[in-house]
Structure 1
Amino acid sequence: MDVDKVSFYPLLPDLLTDISQAHFVAIDLELSGVPSKGVHSVGKPSLQQRYLETKEAAERYQILQFGLTCVEQDVANQKYILKPYNFDLSPVIAERGLDIERIFSYQSGAAEFLLKVGFDMGRPFTHGVPYLSRVESREARNKHVKRQDKSSLADIQIKPTEVESLAFLDRVRSEIRGWLTSPNAEGTSYVNIAPVGAEVFKNASESPAELSRFEKRLVHQLVRAEFPDLVTVSKRGFVQIIRFDREREDQIAAGRKRDSDERINRQKGFRWVIEALLGSDLHKLDLQECAKDPLSGEQVFADMDEYRAQFHRAHALMQNNPRVLVGHNCFLDFIYIYRTFIGPLPDTVEEYQRKLHKLWPTIIDTKYMSTHNCGDINPVSSLEQIAEQMSFEKTPRTETAPEHSKYEDTESFHEAGYDSYLTAGIAVRLSSKLEKAGQYVDLDAHDTTKLDPWTLAGRNQNPDYAARDLASLTLSEPSTTSISRPATAQEGFTPSTPGLDWKRNGDPTVVGTSGPHDPNPQKLKHRYTPLPAGRVKDGMPGFKSDFWRVYGNRMRVFGTEEAVFVLEDQGYGEDGSEEEMVGGQGGVGV
């Protein structure tokens, strides 16, 4: 389903409902530029170096398209229902008066690629959904407060030689004092400060008389300094001076703040979706914005009680309950998402890891799933190739929701919505297949007769193996030589399906049963709570199973020394209520 700036708010209640009911959400991005890899004289770059390259790119380039597929687990019918959305995002600040400046750019190579695959480069500008990051929203509010504080304005210093300005100020003083001392002053509620001779040109359209911006500032400054019981109101061409009234001024200030908040919330746009995925409080969302025609954007009659009921049902499921997010080769994607919607990126990959994991406790990379224990030879593992391999799997059943049928019979590679749709299907079927196979770690690293084909693919240096499609080995059924003896209590995992034979020995990426980490999966600080709907038979492993200790919270980063980016728990509260720190400032206000 394509969503643009006109249909975004009308479709938002249904989208929030889909997110709230999702077993997990798959994502994908299309970007205006990607990292330029640095030249390293010796060896591979470290993960820190790759992070800094990507950080620099995320600070320069933009997300042009965001794909999002909500995957609902239909236990009653034993299938997964896929609901893909495709959003174009606009880098333009459409709402006026926010005083936010955003610089955006394109990388020539990325633009060439997007044009080659048929991407409409103008669409983000003409149809894109707006957005503001958390930091931009905070900046807009702070600038509004600063604009309302007239005392924060620097005074204009008038020199004795500036006789025209001094004469202007003398005239303004005289007019104000004349008004205040006039016998009719009590009955006159204001005085207007206009240019000299304004009455002569009152009806002469060819020569309108107006105060300049400089003269207006002088009037505001003079009244603020010398007449504290008066207030200035800037009008077109002149300044009106009225008596100070606390109640009226408070009402005006409240109205201006309300107007500013409404403009910020409208510009926030797609970040409402990001905050929903984060489990944030969304009560500031104005549902009146959703009561519009999705084609024309015109206001329509709507049952607001029904809107509110739908919103509160979804919100109750989402709040304080971050979604499980799935991407393919998504190390880069999440850096861009953080920079675009949260705020400035940390300087170190360790600090970024901590902040990202606090935001989304469970992230799954299907590229890592397909290349786990792949050894020194990087297998072929593109999204298209894995999707083609998994298309032969008949179970678990997946089905596209009728109102989201755009991609059911159409291939749209490199459209973010379609790629998120493929990622969702891969996550369902590959995780099920891997858990049923269950033998991906060698028990005895010295006895290659007992190794399964996935480990052999990574260890064997024979050129014949190197030339083969190693991804197909990764996704193939276990060989008859793989180990079949039951695992002991100390080395076994807790599978979703009873009876599966899992091993953990020999895999350096899997947390062992000894040491500081508690092996009990029930004690993992994964804040996501699945809906109480049971489970599809032979479907995805349950998120509380040990399967995700191996495959969850790991992102493949080929080309680096580490080759994998690992998210670990960092000791936040059991209820996950600790506020995210952004750029040294606390709070998750949306």
Structure 2
Amino acid sequence: MDVDKVSFYPLLLDLLTDISEAHFVAIDLELSGVPSKGAHSQGKPTLQQRYTETKEAAERYQILQFGLTCVEQDVANQKYILKPYNFDLSPVIAERGLDIERIFSYQSGAAEFLLKVGFDMARPYTHGVPYLSRLETREARDKHAKRQDKSALADIQIKPTELESLAFLERVRSEIRGWLASPTYEATNYVNIAPVGAEIVKDAEAPAELSRFEKRLVHQLVRAEFPDLVTVSKRGFVQIVRFDKEREDSIAAGRKRDSDERINRQKGFRWIIEALMGSDITRLDLRECARYPVTGEQIFADMDEFKSQFHRAHALMYRNPRVLVGHNCFLDFIYIYRTFIGPLPDTVEEYQRKLHSHWPTIVDTKYMSTHNCGDISPASSLEQIAEQLSEQKTPTIELAAEHSKYKDVEAFHEAGFDSYLTAGVAVRLSSKLEKAGQYVDVDANANDPSLNTWTLAGQNSRDDTPVEINPLTISDPSTSSVSSATAVAEDGFTPSVPGAKWKRRGDPTVAGTSGPDDSFKYDPKNLKHRYVPPPAGRVEDGMPGFGSDFWRVYGNRMRVFGTEEAVCVLDAGGSGEGSEEEGQGGVQV
């Protein structure tokens, strides 16, 4: 489903509902530029060097398109229902008066690629959904507060030689004093400061108006010499009225309310990001959702029904970040962080901690498909993996009826379609890998050097020599001619079987599982975010439950081929911060 700037708010409640009910959410991005590979004199770059390159690119380039697929686990009907959305994002600040400047640019190579695959370069500008980062939101609010603080304005210094300006100020001063000394002062609510001769207007002539410079002089004079009076800027003149605290407080509150409404409208897509992080989004104005999705015109709506739908979705999401899935998503999450959350940390270690504090569970399907692949990077593009898994019969995957755009259409490199493919890969590949995983008898195999790779016992009938295999090529036991073969892996995991126990050893990419002490207990309830048990039951032959041992192997690891480490492991430490700019889920935004 395509969502543009007109249909975004009318569809937002349904979007939030889909996110709140999702078993996980798959994402994909299209960008105006990507990192330029640095020159590394000695072999492969480190993960820190790759992060620095990507950080610099994310600070320069923009997200042009965001794909998001909500995956519902329908236990009752034993299937997964996919709901893909495709958003164009506008780099333009559409709301006036926010005083936010945003510089954006394109990389020639990225632009060439996008044009080659048929990307409409004009759509982000003509149809794109607006957004504001947390940092931009704070900046807009700070600038509004400064504009309301008249004492913070620097005075214009008039030199003795500027005779016209001095004469103008003396005229204004004289008119104000004359009004204050007038016997009708108490009955007169205001005095207008207009240009000389403004009261004489000839036919077909526009009335004379004060210049912006003259208006500023009037405001400055009254603020300095008449503290009991207030200036009100009008078109062409300045009106001076007596100070009334109740009226001024009401005007200030109205201006702040208007500013907040403009900021909230400009937030646009960031409402989705905050919902994915489990933040408090109760500042969302549901009246913006009462619009016709085709034209954007205001329509009659049952606000009680809107509130009921919103509060139900919010209750499911609040302090419960969604599980996010991407393919080769190391770069994607750096761009998401920079675009919507805040400035990127200088070190990759700090970034890992902060990202993990926002989303405790992130899955990279590229890492899943290349786990234990050795030092030669296998072919593992999203299209290739999806094609290899397309014939897998179980579990059942369906497109929701109202999201049928990709039912018979392949739109590679459209973010919505790629997120849809990623979702399907995550479901099928995790199911396939769990079927292949078996227990390892630690005592019996502790000194067996052959158990360093995935192996199929019995594959070679003469000598039972272990044979390396790609996780994507593991045969489905229900259809394989060698169904009696047992998949064994030194880095195996516990399938989602009641009563199963963890028996794993030796993989250095998983903290706490190597060495003599293997007593580490993984408990999702230990996460700083509130733990919500998954829905009762599961889809047969479906994904392993999040929180199971399976995801301790495959979760929170992003593949970064071409670096010395080859993988980015998210740190469970978290940042522990709670501000709007860098905080954990649950912050009101």
SS in 2 for 1:81: strand
SS in 2 for 1:12: helix
Cα distance change, pair 257–18 in 1 and its aligned pair in 2 (3 A): same
Match of 2:14 in 1: 14
Counterpart check, 1:561 vs 2:564: yes
Contact 1:287 / 1:307 at 8 angstroms: preserved in 2? yes
Residue 544 (structure 2) aligned to one of 541, 545, 548: 541
Amino acid at match of 2:532: T
Match of 1:452 in 2: 454
| 2-structure distance, mates of 1:523, 1:511 | 18
| 2-structure distance, mates of 1:572, 1:58 | 21
TM-score, structure 2 length as denominator? Answer: 0.91
Contact 1:451 / 1:483 at 8 angstroms: preserved in 2? no
Match of 2:251 in 1: 252
Match of 1:507 in 2: 507
Match of 1:175 in 2: 175
* Higher mean displacement: 578-587 or 16-25: 578-587
Match of 1:196 in 2: 196
Alignment of 1:131-146 (within 5 A): 131-146=131-146
Pairwise CA distance, 1:333: 0.3
Cα distance change, pair 439–68 in 1 and its aligned pair in 2 (3 A): same
| 2-structure distance, mates of 1:428, 1:357 | 22
| 2-structure distance, mates of 1:133, 1:445 | 53
Pairwise CA distance, 1:446: 6.4
Contact 1:432 / 1:539 at 8 angstroms: preserved in 2? yes
Match of 1:460 in 2: none
Match of 2:432 in 1: 433
| 2-structure distance, mates of 1:176, 1:282 | 48
| 1-structure distance, mates of 2:489, 2:454 | 16
Counterpart check, 1:240 vs 2:224: no
- 1:412-449 deviation line (CA, Å, top 9, x unaligned): 00000000000000101111111110059996686448
TM-score, structure 1 length as denominator? Answer: 0.91
Match of 1:344 in 2: 343
- 1:459-487 deviation line (CA, Å, top 9, x unaligned): xxxxxx9xx99675478879899877899
Contact 1:504 / 1:512 at 8 angstroms: preserved in 2? no
Pairwise CA distance, 1:199: 2.1
Match of 1:401 in 2: 400
Match of 2:314 in 1: 315
Counterpart check, 1:104 vs 2:107: no
SS in 2 for 1:529: coil
**What percent of counterpart residues are identical?**
77
| 2-structure distance, mates of 1:269, 1:155 | 37
Contact 2:436 / 2:487 at 8 angstroms: preserved in 1? no
SS in 1 for 2:71: strand
Alignment of 1:159-558 (within 5 A): 159-200=159-200, 202-206=201-205, 208-439=207-438, 447-448=449-450, 451-453=453-455, 472-473=472-473, 493-498=493-498, 504-513=504-513, 518-522=520-524, 524-525=526-527, 527=529, 529-558=532-561
| 2-structure distance, mates of 1:501, 1:519 | 11
Aligned-pair Cα RMSD in Å: 2.9
Gaps of 5+ in 1: 456-464
Amino acid at match of 2:520: D
Amino acid at match of 1:304: M
Contact 2:493 / 2:553 at 8 angstroms: preserved in 1? no
| 1-structure distance, mates of 2:320, 2:533 | 9
Pairwise CA distance, 1:516: 9.8
Match of 1:459 in 2: none
Cα distance change, pair 539–331 in 1 and its aligned pair in 2 (3 A): same
Pairwise CA distance, 1:204: 4.9
Cα distance change, pair 249–242 in 1 and its aligned pair in 2 (3 A): same
SS in 2 for 1:399: strand
Contact 1:452 / 1:482 at 8 angstroms: preserved in 2? no
Cα distance change, pair 319–451 in 1 and its aligned pair in 2 (3 A): closer
Cα distance change, pair 580–517 in 1 and its aligned pair in 2 (3 A): farther
- 1:92-148 deviation line (CA, Å, top 9, x unaligned): 000000110101111111011001101000001000000001111111011101000
Pairwise CA distance, 1:520: 3.2
Pairwise CA distance, 1:583: 6.7
Pairwise CA distance, 1:525: 1.9
* Higher mean displacement: 500-509 or 432-441: 500-509
Pairwise CA distance, 1:572: 6.9
Gaps of 5+ in 2: 458-466
Amino acid at match of 1:518: F
- 1:294-351 deviation line (CA, Å, top 9, x unaligned): 0011111111111111111111101010000000000000000001111111111111
- 1:351-391 deviation line (CA, Å, top 9, x unaligned): 11111111111000000000001110101000000000111
SS in 1 for 2:65: strand
| 1-structure distance, mates of 2:16, 2:390 | 29
SS in 2 for 1:60: coil
| 2-structure distance, mates of 1:344, 1:40 | 26
Contact 1:449 / 1:481 at 8 angstroms: preserved in 2? no
- 1:23-77 deviation line (CA, Å, top 9, x unaligned): 0000000000000010111111111111110011101110000000000000001
Pairwise CA distance, 1:585: 12
Cα distance change, pair 179–486 in 1 and its aligned pair in 2 (3 A): closer
Cα distance change, pair 517–158 in 1 and its aligned pair in 2 (3 A): farther
